Amino acid sequence: MALAPFHLAIPVYDLTTARHFYGEVFGCIEGRSSEHWVDFDFFGHQLVIHQAPKMAYQEAAHSNPVDGHDVPVPHFGVVLGWEDWQVLAARLKAKDTSFVIEPCIRFAGLAGEQATLFLLDPCGNALEFKAFKDIRQMFAK
């Protein structure tokens, strides 16, 4: 079965700043919009940012320990190809991005070895971008 694009709508309390972040920092192509929301082509998926009041998780993120890092919860993101992840990590570093978890390799040499990075958008939504050394091990135990 071929993967279908996901649709995700997230709250942002500053639509203008979030629009700039997803459009300029990530280079996402903007789709339809109104004065309260904006659609983006988010690596082939539909991400919609909606103007909304600040949510509790956007003020104080919760985290869980994973492989020696405090992973923010909730978070969302995309699994990229290994080379695409490297290009994105370099792009974000070149833009002086502040990372929650710097680009790194997790579970090195083990099943499920992956490159990962975490950052927050300007409204406190946590994002993770990862790539698997061997995509067939994405669900490896």
Alpha-carbon 47 to chain mean position: 11
In contact, 51 and 36? CB cutoff 8 Å? yes
Domain enclosing residue 5, as ranges = 1-53
Note down pLDDT in tens along the chain; length 141 residues.
Answer: 678 999 999 999 999 999 999 999 999 999 999 999 999 999 999 999 999 999 888 887 788 888 788 888 899 999 999 999 999 999 999 999 999 999 999 888 988 899 999 999 999 999 999 999 999 888 887
pLDDT of amino acid 66: 84
Q: Is 78 in the same domain as 49? A: no
Give the residue among 68, 73, 82 at the shortest CA–CA distance from 115: 82
* CATH code at position 123: 3.10.180.10
Cβ neighbours for 114, distance < 8 A, ≥ 6 positions apart: 105, 106, 107, 130, 131, 132, 133
How far is C-alpha 72 from the geometric centre of its chain's CA atoms? Answer: 11
Residue matched to tokens 């919009």: 33
Q: With H, G, I as helix, E, B as strand and everything else as coil, classify residue 12.
A: strand
Give the pLDDT of residue 55: 87
44, 110: one domain: no
Whether residue 75 is found in the same domain as residue 137: yes
Same domain as 79, residue 30: no
In a domain, 22, yes or no: yes
pLDDT at residue 69, as a whole number? 84
45: burial class by Cβ within 10 Å (0-12, 13-18, 19+)? middle
- Write out the H or E segment, with its range, that includes residue 101: strand 99-106
User: How many independent structural domains does the chain possess?
Assistant: 2
Per-residue pLDDT, 91: 93
Residue 88's pLDDT is what? 96
2 and 42 inside one domain = yes
Q: Do residues 74 and 125 share a domain? A: yes
